Amino acid sequence: MKALLVLIFSFFCAGAMAEEPLPVEQYSYSQHLDIAHVISMSEVANVCAVVPVRMTYEDSKGQKHILEYRVMGNGCSNG
């Protein structure tokens, strides 16, 4: 599973680096977000754990940002 996550993140990182290198911002709950347009979002891993995902977006001034935050993976079952 870890190898799959590394492969997924490598794929998205390579695509982001092809355009221009942007710093990855870590999200915190107190942070004010200025999201005018979402460009892309990484896939949520199919594991039952909290995993990092990234969103690339443009703010109201047209500047691109990459935001990393954590979500629960899609691999949990309720049974």
Q: Mind listing the pLDDT tens digit for each residue in 2-61?
A: 665 566 666 666 655 556 688 999 999 899 999 999 999 999 999 999 999 999 999 999
Query: What pTM does this model have?
Result: 0.68
What is the identity of the amino acid at 18?
A
Q: Mind listing the pLDDT tens digit for each residue in 58-75?
A: 999 999 999 999 999 999
What is the identity of the amino acid at 51?
V
Q: What is the pLDDT of residue 46?
A: 93
Domains and CATH numbers, the chain: 2-72 (2.30.140.50)
- CA dist., res. 51 & res. 70, Å (int): 5
Structure tokens at 78: 């309720």
- CA dist., res. 24 & res. 69, Å (int): 10
